[in-house]
Amino acid sequence: MELDGKKLSKEIKEKIKVEVSSIKEKYGKTPGLAIVLVGENPASKIYVNSKIKGCSELGFESFAHFLPEDTKEEELLNVIEELNKDENVNGILVQLPLPKHIDEKKVIDKISLEKDVDGFKPENFGLLMLNDKKSIKPCTPAGIIEILKSYSIELEGKDVVILGRSNIVGKPMAGLMINEGATVTICNSKTKNLVEKTKKADIIVVAIGKAKFLTADMVKDDVVVIDVGINRTENGLFGDVDFEDVSKKASYITPVPGGVGPMTVAMLFHNTLRAFKNINNID
Ligand code: NAP
């Protein structure tokens, strides 16, 4: 069965829209999201524009900052400093990847903790690992937990195998799965006997950036497969899973597009609303 991230993300966004509207009525305030893009990366531009559009659809205020490719690190840090101070801005999103001459870590460090709607700051990662309610969770893994829960897919006691150990997907995904009571194995490019591990998994999350990497012979019957990959190839857009092949064996599987991607965007708005409420002491 396909896990429909598009449908679920629409439902989540609809609820957020209603809540934003009632917040405006009750408090006379509008949650605001600042989006910063440095350079001309075409995929990044598409993501940023869809986030700006999403803001206007849901009633958020958006503050877009399009900076040229040759922006100095110092200049970007100054922009973030101003956004940190701006009371109309509740969330700050700096679209990654940044040009090579800018240190990503320094930029993330500069964003104030309460406005870190990507959940990338070390403090938020720590809070996530501690299963603290105050943590703002990275959008992609948080969206994956939402979609699994919405289909009542049990996580407690399950063997979960995650392919990929990035700071934005693999590692926080592991933390969230551990908090749900799953037994987690995180694999990387050096992992030995990968297929032995994937074949035992009840749930597999694939986030490696290799088109159609996971095939049916690597999984057991009735496995749940979450495909995070976005691979634009000459032949079109593919996930990290060979969907046609694996879907014959899987009990549940996310499509690409229409699975994890839309959930990631929905969780960004969820996080922005959460940040607005935290800053304004609204429950
Ligand atoms: P990343 O930073 O590109 O890192 C890839 C990870 O995969 C690394 O940890 C790497 O291991 C591991 N890896 C590579 N080949 C492997 C193999 N054969 N077996 C096991 N592990 C392997 O990853 P990312 O930023 O998380 O992105 C992964 C994919 O998800 C990309 O296609 C990206 O576009 C997509 N993505 C989608 C969304 C969404 O919303 N749908 C969000 C974020 C990312 P090493 O550490 O050993 O190199």
Domain edges within the chain: 28-112, 139-261
- The pLDDT confidence band at residue 16, using thresholds 50, 70 and 90, is very high
CB 153 within 8 A of CB 204: no
Average pLDDT of the segment spanning 61-88: 98
Angle between helices 42-58 and 5-27 (to 10 degrees): 50
Q: Of these residues, 13, 116, 118, 242, which one is catalytic?
A: 118
**Ligand 1 centre from 207 Cα, in Å?**
4
Catalytic residue among 13, 51, 121, 212: 51
- What is the homologous superfamily of the domain 28-112 according to CATH? Leucine Dehydrogenase, chain A, domain 1 (3.40.50.10860)
Q: Is 266 within 8 Å of 259 (Cβ atoms)?
A: no
Ligand 1 contacts CB of residue 138 (under 6 A): no
Listed in sequence order, the residues at least 6 apart from 156 whose beta carbon sits closer than 8 Å to its beta carbon are 180, 181, 182
Ligand 1 atom 17: the closest Cα is on which residue? 189
**Strand residues in 124-202 grouped as ranges (E):** 159-163, 183-187
- At residue 225, φ and ψ (nearest 5 deg) are -120, 125
How far apart, in whole angstroms, are the C-alpha atoms of residue 239 and residue 232? 9
Give me ligand 1 centre to Cα 82, in Å.
32
- Which of 1, 2, 8, 3 has the alpha carbon at shortest distance from 262? 8
Residues 6+ away with beta carbon under 8 Å from 102: 38, 71, 73, 76
Whether 44 lines ligand 1, by a CB cut-off of 6 Å, is no
**What's the mean per-residue pLDDT of the chain?**
97
Residue 174 near ligand 1, beta carbon < 6 Å: no
Q: At which residue do the structure tokens 């592991």 appear? A: 174
- 182 burial (CB, 10 Å; 0-12 / 13-18 / 19+) is buried
Confidence of residue 283 (pLDDT cuts 50, 70, 90): confident
pLDDT for 206 equals: 98
pLDDT tens digits, 181-207: 999 999 999 999 999 999 999 999 999
Beta bridge partners of 32: 61
- By DSSP bridging, strand 252-253 and strand 224-227 are parallel
Q: How far apart are CA 3 and CA 250, in angstroms?
A: 11
Q: Which of 166, 227, 270 to mutate to test the pocket of ligand 1 (most atoms within 8 A of CB)?
A: 166
**What is the predicted pLDDT for the residue at 94?**
98
Query: What mean pLDDT comes out for the span 174-180?
Result: 98
CATH code for 139-261?
A: 3.40.50.720
Answer yes or no: are the C-beta atoms of 226 and 255 closer than 8 Å: no
Q: According to the 3-state scheme, what is the secondary structure of 112-124?
A: CHHHCCCCCCHHH
What is the tens place of the pLDDT at every residue in 5-15? 999 999 999 99
- Residue-wise pLDDT for 28-61, tens only, equals 999 999 999 999 999 999 999 999 999 999 999 9
Distances (CA, A) of 7 to 49, 57, 282: 20, 16, 28
Burial (CB count <10 Å: 0-12, 13-18, 19+), residue 277: middle
User: 102 is written with which tokens?
Assistant: 């800018």
Q: Which amino acid is at 41?
A: N
**Residues present in the chain in total:** 283
CA 104 – ligand 1 centroid, Å: 17
DSSP state of 220: -
Active site residue 242: no
Q: Do domains 28-112 and 139-261 have the same CATH topology?
A: yes
Mean pLDDT of 251-261: 98
Q: How far apart are CA 216 and CA 172, in angstroms?
A: 26
- pLDDT class of 18 with cuts at 50, 70, 90: very high
E strands, the chain, in order: 32-38, 61-67, 91-94, 159-163, 183-187, 203-206, 224-227, 231-233, 236-238, 252-253
